Structure 1
Amino acid sequence: MNQAANTEDDDEDGGAPPIPVGAKNYMTPQGHLRMKNELLNLIDVERPEVVQIVSWAASNGDRSENGDYIYGKRRLRQIDGRIRFLTKRLDLAEVVDPTVHYGSDQIFFGATVRYETQAGDEHTVTILGIDELDPLHGKISWISPVARALTKAREGDSVTLKTPGGLEELLILEVTYPAPAT
């Protein structure tokens, strides 16, 4: 396989972290639906549009200097890579509904946790799947060090987080889950 092919395969995931060997790909029903909708949109809408453009561009003759053709083929490779990535992730998905823990004060997948550091800083995080993370908005992966430290603890507990700077105590202030649909 040539170097260009390696680069394309590496980019198909959009920078998503790998699933640890032997781990399940936990995700919320909302995350699963979002990924499934993206996959269907790529297959049913985006890919056919790009194929049509590439076909039109190819019919114009010399492909070596045809920007529409070159860009279209590159975009097709990106779309196909993303389709492969989404298909693999969805095949490994284990959908976990966090509403089953509604009212619980113990931390599991799907919990939103408000905690305080030793320095007195408060943070709020929601523990989600690897493909749902958004650290800038407090959505962390269940495999992250913070999530691992918090998991199975309860409101009022203090847990130890191993950081590059040493051990840090986190005080759990509040644990919430989304309410079940009625």
Structure 2
Amino acid sequence: MTEEKHYMTTEGKEKLEKELEYLKTERRKEVVERIKVARSFGDLSENSEYDSAKEEQAFVEGRINQLEKMIRNAHIIEEDGDNSSIVSLGKTVTFKELPDGEEEEYTIVGRAEADPIEGKISNDSPMAQSLMGKTIGDQVSVSTPGGDIRVEITKVS
């Protein structure tokens, strides 16, 4: 069974590597210390502090495993200099909603670094799927939770 590729920018991979390093070198030790302190409180069967610390440990270890897998299977998004006007993974696309002309800008990234609040949407999202392969001036119908909208691509960088 081949593992899924995780598309990301070099910056995104570095961010994940920093988080992994933090979890392994600092957070893991903090949780182990919490468990030691909670054990000192006595009877573990009625010790909510111990249960909480063990749950946190499971979360941290799960996140470490997830990050290691994502980094191991990282596929770095390369700059596509030849097709600079075509919307693709790693590109920033600006579009205006039709007919009112409200402009929005998003960078299309892999799901590992998607953060809509920062203007980064996953290549798996309906918005990105609708825009990929299109170029400046194209009008595209996009399915959203609030219903379909029509947009016109005004810039790709």
Q: Map of 1:61-80 to 2, 5 A cutoff?
A: 61-80=42-61
**Superposition TM-score, scaled by structure 1 size:** 0.72
Query: Take 2:18 and 2:117, find their aligned partners in 1: how far apart are those partners?
Result: 24
> Where does residue 118 of structure 1 map in the other structure?
98
Cα distance per residue 1:49-87 (max 9 Å; x no partner):
211231233244322344442222121111111112222
Q: Does 1:155 align with 2:131?
A: no
Cα distance, 1:76–1:165 mapped onto 2, change above 3 Å: closer
Q: Which residue among 101, 116, 134 is the counterpart of 2:115? A: 134
Q: In the alignment, what sits opposite 2:81?
A: 101
| 1:107 maps to amino acid | V
Amino-acid identity (%): 36
Q: Distance in 1 between matches of 2:73 and 2:124?
A: 16
> In structure 2, do the counterparts of structure 1 residues 52 and 167 end up closer, same or farther at CA, with 3 Å as the change threshold?
closer
The C-alpha deviation readout for 1:69-118, integer Å capped at 9, x for no partner, is 222212111111111222222222211134x5399222111111111122
**What is the aligned-residue RMSD (CA, Å)?**
2.6
- The alignment of Structure 1 onto Structure 2 pairs a total of residues equal to 155
TM-score (norm 2): 0.82
Q: Which of the residues 16, 26, 31 maps onto 1:35?
A: 16
Q: Secondary structure at the match of 2:98?
A: coil
Instruction: Give 5+ residue unaligned stretches, structure 1.
Output: 1-20, 177-182
| Residues 1:23 and 1:162: Cα distance change in structure 2 (over 3 Å) | farther
Structure 2 CA distance for partners of 1:57 and 1:102, relative to 1, 3 Å = farther
Query: Within 5 Å, which residues of 2 pair with 1:46-65?
Result: 46-65=27-46
Deviation at 1:128, TM superposition (A): 0.9
Q: Is contact 2:140–2:150 with CA below 8 Å preserved after alignment?
A: yes
Q: In the TM superposition, what is the alpha-carbon distance from 1:45 to its structure 2 partner?
A: 0.8
- 1:56–1:127 CA distance, 2 compared to 1 (3 A): same
> Structure 1: how far apart are the matches of 2:42 and 2:145?
58
